[in-house]
Chains A and B, each alone.
Chain A
Amino acid sequence: DVKVTQSSRYLVKRTGEKVFLECVQDMDHENMFWYRQDPGLGLRLIYFSYDVKMKEKGDIPEGYSVSREKKERFSLILESASTNQTSMYLCASSYTGSYGYTFGSGTRLTVV
């Protein structure tokens, strides 16, 4: 069964910490995406990548960065976590030209 795996389901971090959210897909997809999901706001795009070492800013990139050193792995980095980054983070991947996004189960991050 094809999968997008997010390393943690639940994460609690302190304000100011550097936080890494990992996402790995086993489908050889070119495209990978990071969204955050908040009640009443739906899914908002943080960053995306169409290829290794390539990244593009989404709608809300402030306070985040990403890394894609290998095709299967796309990491989201919170440089200095803040309480307003408490959210559900969803990773997705797809083939180029296909919109069959496959989503991970999400990481619920709480920053205290």
Chain B
Amino acid sequence: AQSVTQPDIHITVSEGASLELRCNYSYGATPYLFWYVQSPGQGLQLLLKYFSGDTLVQGIKGFEAEFKRSQSSFNLRKPSVHWSDAAEYFCAVGEAGNTPLVFGKGTRLSVIA
């Protein structure tokens, strides 16, 4: 069965600093990988997704993620964090055939001045 691990429950970064959120997955074949963001009191918004091809994918709001098959990872990065990036971030994995996504437990990001 697929699974997703987000090792960091909570991360605090300074505004302007770089950010990396970790995601590891367990899946036999090539997975479909996603990052979603949830602002307080809101639903989830898709940041970016990887299906195949270039392993570095660009998303909205200046985020990018890199698929590393050898490490079973799909880490999310941003070069300079803004206060508005404070939110909860979820990594998710899916597979071909339209099965539902499996989500990680999330990483809460706090941004300090």
A contact set with B: CB distance below 8 Å: 4, 31, 33, 35, 40-43, 45, 48, 50, 58, 90, 92, 96-97, 99-101, 103-106
| Minimum CB–CB distance for A3 against chain B, Å | 10
Assembly CA distance A65 to B106 (angstroms): 26
Q: B residues within 8 Å of A by Cβ?
A: 9, 32, 34, 36, 41-46, 49, 90, 94, 98, 100-106
User: Least Cβ distance of A107 to chain B in Å?
Assistant: 10
Residue of B nearest to A48 (CB): B100
Q: Using CB atoms, name the residue of chain A closest to B94.
A: A99
| B49 (CB) vs chain A CBs: closest residue | A99
B100 touches A43 (CB 8 A): no
Q: What B residues does A33 contact at CB under 8 A? A: 100
Closest 8 CB pairs of A and B: A103-B43, A42-B105, A43-B103, A103-B44, A105-B43, A42-B103, A42-B106, A104-B43
Residues of B contacting A45 in the complex (Cβ-Cβ under 8 angstroms): 100, 102
CB A88 to nearest CB in B, in angstroms, measures 9
CA distance A76 to B53 in the complex (A): 38
